[in-house]
Structure 1
């Protein structure tokens, strides 16, 4: 079984909304062969809690406006470190860059096929980890001063 056309459409729209709000490391997996609860996982990250929330809001707004769909569940908003949006057909994870590195969701789903995303959403891949490493180095340098 592969992801439905509807879930691919939702995933691509959510990825575009995330990219428009400068999300990093956007990737989507077709998990329909290994999970019965959803078709795709979309994962994106941001360097701070405020941007995580902005990305989540942009995704919700775009999917509601353009595709008339609301999440059935939303978790983690208060902390702003890892927000999960469950649209049944897709599950969106927006994580703070530090959580993204720590939990490494890609490691869990690496055997699943990637869902093709809009070109500008894919162009952001890799920037999040580099930025997280730079921020960590800056914190270490600041602590040594």
Structure 2
């Protein structure tokens, strides 16, 4: 076990600050999920209730192939547009619940069964919630649009 004065092992991932604001990464994740036809895309705003992340983005894939495509689509899109890769990622082998941790934003891609079983929306029921309409994208999420406008001085 490392003490406060002991540096982390070289194999331990280093938690680094994101280069982009959380709302921007969230918007890109939503757009990538929508492009890969994820269903039931939801944004949970955790900023006022948790310190672990600012936003969760949840989406569902209908098969292993689609879950992989959604997760890869999110990673590719965020890397291409924002220059960021996930700090951590889990579930890319089993493809039932893939987690992509971008520090301020955590993306969850579920199978229908795992999403119903874990019911993250209920667990984080105190969070503000934005449902992305079918065939929608980040431009349909008022919270993200308001944060973007405020950041650019157009609020």
- Shared fold, TM over 0.5: yes
User: What are the within-5 Å matches in structure 2 for residues 60-99 of structure 1?
Assistant: 60-99=75-114
Paired residues, number: 118
Distance in 1 between the 2:129 and 2:38 partners? 18
User: What are the within-5 Å matches in structure 2 for residues 20-99 of structure 1?
Assistant: 20-99=35-114
Higher share in helix: 1
Q: Provide closer, same or farther for how the CA distance between residues 97 and 116 of structure 1 changes in structure 2, counting only shifts above 3 A.
A: closer
Q: How far is 1:114 from its partner? A: 2.3
Q: Provide closer, same or farther for how the CA distance between residues 116 and 100 of structure 1 changes in structure 2, counting only shifts above 3 A.
A: closer
TM-score (norm 1): 0.75
Instruction: State whether residues 44 and 127 of structure 2, in contact with CA within 8 Å, keep that contact through their aligned partners in structure 1.
Output: yes
SS at the partner of 2:81? helix
Q: How far is 1:32 from its partner? A: 1.7
Q: Provide closer, same or farther for how the CA distance between residues 44 and 17 of structure 1 changes in structure 2, counting only shifts above 3 A.
A: same
Distance in 2 between the 1:98 and 1:17 partners? 22
Whose relative contact order is higher, 1 or 2, with alpha carbons under 8 Å and at least 6 apart? 1
Q: How far is 1:108 from its partner? A: 1.2
Name the residue aligned to 1:108: 123
Distance in 1 between the 2:113 and 2:85 partners? 28
Instruction: State whether residues 40 and 132 of structure 2, in contact with CA within 8 Å, keep that contact through their aligned partners in structure 1.
Output: no
Q: Structure 2, unaligned stretches of length 5 or more?
A: 1-19, 139-155
Q: How far is 1:37 from its partner? A: 1.7
Instruction: State whether residues 8 and 115 of structure 1, in contact with CA within 8 Å, keep that contact through their aligned partners in structure 2.
Output: no
Which has the greater radius of gyration? 2
Q: Structure 1, unaligned stretches of length 5 or more?
A: 123-145
Between 1:109-118 and 1:97-106, the stretch displaced more is 109-118
